[in-house]
């Protein structure tokens, strides 16, 4: 049996993750046909949103596939390499605080992500902060203060984005994460597709955050590698390497996730030094 034969169809119930394969009608409904996967998977099953959990849309198919047991990070890289053929983006899922299999998720339409502008999101967050801090004299966001700097320039690649992501996945794999597979065209969209609610206290909708991730994919060679209950892990192939650039990127990070500043160094300048030249970004929300 040749390699094409081995990779003919997505195995098991993976076709159900696609809109045109939700009825599980076999290879003919295989996500508009042609999707293949040659990497053997561990035991696992698809996860449906819990109907008792507040939902954003009526999803007629599972949100993602989840492994039964922890996996090693090397598997993430092998699956990432097949994303173009399989249509499935891998995620390393931290189950310390989030029982992913319980379905306490609220998927959002991936099509909505394109309706959001990362630039507008940054300006909106900044304007809200400026209004709330109108009577205060804060140095937290110096040198920008109440004047939003807009998006930072793109970084200069230090490495191949996919190769770097594979290495970061191997490092995260030491924590014993579960494996998730999500039917999306690009990794940034996965947070909306799986119904991740980690930033709910900061932003009601996940799609705008996914739009920011898309922009970081394009400008900084970022790749979404892992998710937790309220955490997000990215590899970054083109990080800022100068202090000036790092402070500008730090401003975007603050708008995306204020807790990394206010529960971290406390100032943009301090946080900028933490991320300057760093090839992975970690975010957490309270």
pLDDT in tens, 40-60: 999 999 999 998 888 888 888
What is the layout of strands, in order, in the sheet containing 178-183?
44-47, 64-67, 178-183, 88-93, 222-227, 231-236, 280-284
| CA distances in angstroms from 102 to 5, 106, 191, listed in the order given | 35, 12, 17
What is the H or E stretch that residue 275 is in?
Answer: helix 268-275
Residue 81: closest CA among 16, 166, 177, 199: 166
pLDDT at 231 over 60: yes
* Least confident among 18-27, 158-167, 182-191: 18-27
Whether cis (ω within 30° of 0) applies to the bond prior to 12 is no
Is the overall model pTM greater than 0.75, yes or no?
A: yes
Would you say residue 272 has pLDDT above 80?
yes
pLDDT surpassing 50 at residue 226: yes
Instruction: Report how far residue 247's alpha carbon sits from residue 143's, in angstroms, rounded to the nearest whole number.
Output: 9
How does residue 95 score in pLDDT terms, banded at 50, 70 and 90? confident
Give the pLDDT band of residue 147 (cuts 50, 70, 90): confident
List of residues 6+ apart from 45 with CB closer than 8 A: 13, 65, 66, 68, 101
The C-alpha atoms of residue 247 and residue 276 are separated, in whole angstroms, by 9
**How many other CB atoms sit within 10 Å of the CB of residue 254?**
24
Q: From residue 105, how far is each of 51, 100, 120, 196 by CA, in Å?
A: 10, 8, 26, 6
Q: What is the 3-state secondary structure (H, E, C) of 240-252?
A: CCCHHHHHHHHHH
Taking all residues of the chain, what is their mean pLDDT, rounded to a whole number?
89
> Where do the domains of the chain lie?
39-112+160-234+280-284
Structure tokens at 57: 């849309």
Contacts of 197 (CB under 8 A, 6+ apart): 104, 105, 106, 206
Q: 200 forms bridges with which residues in the sheet? A: none
62's tokens: 């599972």
Give the pLDDT band of residue 136 (cuts 50, 70, 90).
Answer: low
Show the tokens assigned to 2: 């040749």
What are the residues whose beta carbons fall under 8 Å from the beta carbon of 176, sequence distance 6 or more?
70
Dist CA 65 CA 249 (whole Å): 33
């Amino acid at each position: 049996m040749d390699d094409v034969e081995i990779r003919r169809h997505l195995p098991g119930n993976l076709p159900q993750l696609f809109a045109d394969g939700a009825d599980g009608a076999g290879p003919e409904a295989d996500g508009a046909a042609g999707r293949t996967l040659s990497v053997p998977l561990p035991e696992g099953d698809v996860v449906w949103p819990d109907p008792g959990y507040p939902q954003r849309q009526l999803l007629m198919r599972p949100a993602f596939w989840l492994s039964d047991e922890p996996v090693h990070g090397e598997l993430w890289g092998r699956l990432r390499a097949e994303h173009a053929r399989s249509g499935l983006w891998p995620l390393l899922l931290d189950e310390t605080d989030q029982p992913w299999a319980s379905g306490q998720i609220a998927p959002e339409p991936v099509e909505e992500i394109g309706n959001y502008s990362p630039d507008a999101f940054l300006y909106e967050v900044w304007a809200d902060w400026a209004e709330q801090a109108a009577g205060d004299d804060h140095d937290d966001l110096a040198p920008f203060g109440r004047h939003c700097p807009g998006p930072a320039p793109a970084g200069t690649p230090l490495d191949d984005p996919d190769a770097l992501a594979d290495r970061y996945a191997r490092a995260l794999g030491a924590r014993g994460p579960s494996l998730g597979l999500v039917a999306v065209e690009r990794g940034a969209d996965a947070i909306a597709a799986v119904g991740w609610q980690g930033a709910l206290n900061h932003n009601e909708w996940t799609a705008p955050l996914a739009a920011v991730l898309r922009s970081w994919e394009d400008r900084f060679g970022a790749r979404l590698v892992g998710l937790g209950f309220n955490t997000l892990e990215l590899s970054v192939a083109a990080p800022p390497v100068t202090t000036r650039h790092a402070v500008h990127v730090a401003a975007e990070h603050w708008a995306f996730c204020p807790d990394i500043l206010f529960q971290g160094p406390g100032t943009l300048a301090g946080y900028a030094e933490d991320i300057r030249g760093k090839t992975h970004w970690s975010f957490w929300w309270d």
